[in-house]
């Protein structure tokens, strides 16, 4: 939104229109140009601001939401934070059922924004009554005047990105984008953005990023939901143990899987090379770019856009904690002393 003198009515006016920033050093050995769509510039510091605002405004337009009503969602943290932020401004109650895998910082941030939080076990199946899906459903049934956002199964999640992220990237690249690399969790970001971009130019390649331990890549390739693919992993917000209806698998050309360890190191590398303090899945997306580059998937005149979904501050107790990295064994293969930049003067 254009505003005179950069003065805004409230924080929601700042949702979307995030910058596209050229990557320079991390891609210096690479074959073509790479740009990051840096979603941390949203007021809630992630791409989820877009869907929170869009879905709530659609519900208001349809007369489903009235002031004082309750917004309920299952969330790995970011969607919850964005919904809580929109609820504060618009006067709704916000209840969030989150996975116990979410970082402590993320859960504290939700509380700071006034949300009521239920922390549910991460490693139970989606139909277990303790899972965050079932807890959210139960609360929705129990609370009158509540709306369940249900981002994994809500077409509006795709529409939000079709109406904002897609057009922004098309305009920012002046239609020159050749590849989009985006993490897939609910699939809303990649599906909506891809739909818009492919309508403009069907030759644009859409590459989804998935985690080892998630079913998405195999489902895309075989249309088979293979439970044997599922095991616990550490990256939050990427990959899934079910098939989300908010993912348009047909629009995605290929999926790349990335490991927890490589993604963590790449997230740290983005900060050190590009001065961008971004989240774990940004590291995952960049790691996928590296793997694609190594496989010779890009050529000289390509323009690759990679989406960095959120801000690094959410991961201080994880990826950006040396203690946590060490506990995961992620430092086993690197020279920790050489990487050490803190010196304690005694």
Interface with ligand PMP (CB under 6 A), residue from 27, 189, 214, 241:
189
Retrieve residue 231's tokens. 């095991």
279 near ligand PMP, rule: CB under 6 A: yes
- In the complex with ligand PMP, which residue's Cβ is closer, 69 or 236? 236
In angstroms, rounded to a whole number, what is the distance separating the alpha carbons of residues 11 and 133?
A: 29
- Cβ neighbourhood burial of 221 (10 Å; 0-12, 13-18, 19+): exposed
Nearer to ligand PMP, 192 or 325 (CB): 192
Residue closer to ligand PMP (CB basis): 79 or 172:
79
Which helix (H) or strand (E) is 268 found in, with range? helix 260-274
* Residue 185 makes contact with ligand PMP by CB under 6 A: yes
Choices 135-143, 182-190, 260-268, 332-340 (CB under 6 A): range interacting with ligand PMP = 182-190
Residue nearest to ligand PMP (CB): 237
Of 4, 22, 48, 198, catalytic: 48
Contact between 191 and 158 under an 8 Å Cβ cutoff? The reply is: yes
Look up 48 and say whether it is catalytic.
yes
User: Which residue in 149, 88, 147 sits closest to 113, CA to CA?
Assistant: 88
Q: What is the DSSP string of 203-228?
A: T-EEEEEEETT-SHHHHHHHS---GG
Least separation in angstroms between residue 310's CB and ligand PMP is 4
Give the contact letters, 70-109, x = binds to ligand PMP (CB under 6 A), - = no.
Answer: ------x-x-------------------------------
Helices (H), 2-129: 48-61, 78-90, 104-112
Task: State the Cα–Cα distance between residues 140 and 59, nearest whole angstrom.
Answer: 15
Q: How far is CA 114 from the centre of its chain?
A: 22
Pattern 291-320, binding to ligand PMP, x per CB under 6 A? ------------------xx----------
Binding site for ligand PMP (CB under 6 A): 76, 78, 183-190, 237-238, 279, 281, 309-310
Q: Which residues are catalytic?
A: 48
């Amino acid at each position: 939104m254009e505003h005179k003198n950069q003065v805004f009515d409230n924080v929601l006016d700042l949702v979307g229109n995030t910058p596209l920033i050229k990557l320079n050093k991390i891609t210096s050995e690479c074959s073509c140009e790479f740009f990051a769509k840096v979603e941390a510039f949203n007021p809630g510091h992630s791409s989820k601001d877009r869907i929170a605002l869009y879905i709530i405004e659609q519900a208001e337009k349809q007369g489903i939401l009235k002031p004082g009503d309750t917004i309920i969602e299952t969330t790995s943290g970011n969607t919850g934070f964005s919904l809580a932020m929109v609820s504060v401004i618009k006067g709704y109650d916000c209840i969030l059922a989150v996975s116990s895998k979410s970082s402590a910082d993320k859960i504290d941030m939700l509380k700071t924004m006034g949300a009521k939080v239920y922390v549910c076990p991460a490693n139970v199946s989606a139909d277990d009554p303790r899972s965050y899906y079932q807890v959210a459903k139960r609360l929705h049934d129990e609370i009158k005047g509540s709306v369940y956002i249900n981002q994994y199964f809500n077409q509006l999640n795709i529409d939000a990105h079709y109406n904002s992220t897609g057009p922004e990237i098309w305009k920012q690249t002046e239609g020159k984008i050749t590849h989009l690399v985006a993490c897939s969790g609910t699939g809303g970001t990649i599906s909506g953005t891809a739909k818009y971009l492919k309508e403009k130019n069907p030759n644009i390649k859409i590459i989804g990023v998935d985690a080892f331990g998630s079913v998405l890549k195999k489902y895309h390739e075989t249309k088979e939901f293979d439970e044997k693919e599922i095991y616990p992993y550490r990256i939050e917000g990427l990959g899934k143990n079910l098939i989300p209806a908010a993912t348009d698998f047909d629009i995605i050309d290929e999926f790349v899987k990335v490991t927890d360890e490589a993604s963590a190191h790449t997230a740290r590398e983005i900060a050190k090379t590009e001065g961008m303090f971004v989240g774990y899945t940004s590291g995952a997306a960049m790691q996928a770019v590296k793997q694609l580059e190594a496989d010779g998937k890009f050529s000289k005149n390509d323009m690759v856009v990679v989406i960095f979904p959120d801000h690094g501050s959410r991961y201080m107790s994880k990826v950006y904690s040396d203690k946590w990295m060490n506990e995961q064994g992620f430092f086993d293969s690197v020279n920790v002393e050489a990487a050490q930049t803190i010196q304690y003067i005694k």
